[in-house]
A and B are shown apart, each in its own frame.
Chain A
Amino acid sequence: MKNFNLTKYSKPLILLVFIIVLTILRPSTFLTVSNFANVLWSISVIGIMVCGTIFVFLIGGIDLSIATLCGFCAVVTVKTITYFHNSTGGVFAGILAALAVGAAAGCLHGIVITRFHIPAFLVTFATQSIFLGLSMIVTSNKIISCTEPAAFTAIGAKKILGFPLPIYLMILIAALAWYVLRKTEFGRYIYAVGGNATAAEISGINVRRSTVLCYVFSGLTTALGGVILASMTQQAMASTGSGYTNDVITAGVIGGVSLLGGEGTVLGAMFGAVLMGLLNNGLNLMSVPSTHAGLVKGLVIIIAVGFDALQHTDQARKKVKKIVKKEA
């Protein structure tokens, strides 16, 4: 019995408890296919973004610019589409432009962080302000709506087999990220860099290039998230995506991704995103005002992370005690 590791199964357990509680509380509205499609649709943007930013978390970095970069990419997409007179070709140009901006931003982050050894926290804190300013300049601080062409609105809303397209995109991106992290050499490099950058460097891994690539991935998924968000809302403005930085980081953290690097899986991060979605959905169904929902969300983070943390600290304390005893 002592070997039974509760924390190992804590994630599926938490999810199960959640679903059961919500089912009991709201039996007619919660446990329906359309509601689950709804939950997945609502987390698809966070889900896609966390698949890219997990690379950054894994190498021990952080990206505070997710929200404003997402907004800037949304603005770029919509601006490009309107520039091409809402043609279908313009949609492709818009998506490409957004992805290019995202990749360039990621590249900038990566290069500044690795070349000058600046904490990622600071660099992305500064660029967050820059992206916000750029969005405001491009939009002249107005809402730009874009309801045409159909190819654009389809990205966020088109349903295939009853599920909207972003859900499939999320699954595709998650599968890609999983493959890269689990099955490729590069994936192993990332865990190595996150575990111990110096050791990774000495064993021949190009830490600098890996780091830059991780930030590029993060930029790309953030850009894709921006495109989808713009399509879902059929508009873009400077404040598009605000609040997403916390949501994405929270999703990762609930899913067991360590912000210190080297620990975490795509599956875990997706679990975190789904839990967040269920949480929002459940609170919504129980008509808890969104301003109060933070209380529950925060407590869930503390409980989810606290379980893991308590075990770690217990082990650490025992270790110190052992050493002290030996000395004595």
Chain B
Amino acid sequence: MKQMKQSTLRRLISIAMLVVLIILFSALAGTKFLNANNFIEIVRDTSVVAIVGVGVTYAIITAGIDLSTGSIMAVVGMTMANIYAYTLWPIPIMILLGLIVGVLCGLFNGYIIGKIGIPEFIGTLATMTIFRAVTYIIAVKDANGVIMSQPMNISTYAVLGYAIGPFYFVVLAMIFFVVAGQILLKYTRLGTNIYAVGANKKAAALSGIDVAKTRMIVYTIVGLCAAVGSVFTTARLQSATTAIGDGFEFNPIAAAVVGGVALSGGSGDVVGMLIGALFMATLESGVQKLDMNNAYQYVIKGVIIILVVMFDAAYKNRMDRAAKEQGAKEGME
């Protein structure tokens, strides 16, 4: 019961921080920031990060990390670009093959991490460079062999970047992924296993959980999420380049961590990550609307992340201490 209350409080604090940020930027930038269109854009910008973030949240809950999401997006985008450029296959088949490539990339990560036992950070750092190199190798080239950006503007595909009313398709996809991701995490055997693996691998293995398999599934899910993110990114850009997802990998991680998913594993959830992603997108948008030099934006972003995380850590330490004192008291009685 106590645990439940704590996590609810943590959620409220996350939301409060988001509200404070919105108020702050509204005060500083006025209606330039505070208008319906801007909020629709913020949610749209959040979407791809949050979709990929579902998988990355799982990875972080198992005490892992995935640095290769940006590169998986690039491989998937380039695979679809090749099919688009060289075949007449229907668009759904193209998307399906793209998703399969993403799943295979994730499976490869899962294999080297789960089965071979390479530490997550190093393994995905390696596959980050591998997948990026593969993207360059398979990139669509023009007659002179120079890599070009492949336009993908056929209406049946580009429609994925459009909106019905105020809702972009990508936002609807995000809502689906977040809801499904949260249910999978909280109400299924797999979700319980993910938490168990993150909390204590040895204990999980001894209580009969197949740790290697769980981790493999997690990284495969990350691959699928990244592939879906890539589909929406290329549909929005209406083209595929080798630069897709360059530097993207840190966004879902930052979103998850700001949303209360602990890098040490075993805690946090998908909804928290979504709030974190909204927070980061609001920060990005707000800083932009202040009309400052690019350079200052970087500094302010860094400072705000540190402040938020510092506040979060101070709060957590306090709760831990309170819980310990409570425990000691109960022990005395």
Contact = CB atoms under 8 A, between A and B. Distances in A.
Interface of A: 62, 112, 116-119, 121-123, 125-130, 132-137, 141, 238, 246, 249-250, 253, 258-260, 289, 291-299, 301-302, 305-306, 309-310, 312-313, 316, 320, 323-324
Interface of B: 112, 115-119, 121-123, 125-130, 132-134, 136-137, 202, 205-206, 242, 250, 254, 257, 263-264, 293-303, 305-306, 309-310, 313-314, 316-317
Contacts of B112: 302, 306
A259 B129 contact: no
A133 B297 contact: yes
Q: Is the interface of B mostly helix, strand, loop or mixed?
A: helix
A1 B8 CA distance: 59
Those 6 A-B pairs whose CB atoms lie nearest each other, nearest first: A133-B298, A136-B295, A313-B117, A298-B130, A294-B133, A130-B302
23 contacts: A118-B313, A123-B309, A125-B254, A126-B309, A127-B306, A133-B298, A133-B302, A134-B295, A136-B294, A250-B125, A260-B119, A289-B136, A292-B136, A294-B130, A295-B129, A298-B129, A302-B112, A302-B123, A305-B123, A306-B118, A309-B119, A310-B117, A313-B116
Nearest to A117: B313
Nearest to B201: A316
B309 A298 contact: no
A137 B293 contact: yes
A258 to B, nearest CB: 8
Nearest to B129: A294
A16 B258 CA distance: 46
A260 B126 CA distance: 17
A309 B115 CA distance: 10
Contacts of B296: 133, 137
Given A118-B313, A122-B309, A130-B298, A294 B117 contact: no
Contact of A306 (B116, B310, B313): B116
Contacts of B130: 294-295, 298-299
Given A253-B122, A302-B118, 14 more contacts: A62-B121, A116-B310, A123-B309, A126-B301, A133-B300, A136-B294, A246-B125, A295-B130, A295-B134, A298-B128, A298-B130, A301-B125, A309-B117, A320-B206
Contacts of A137: 293, 295-296, 299
Contacts of B314: 116
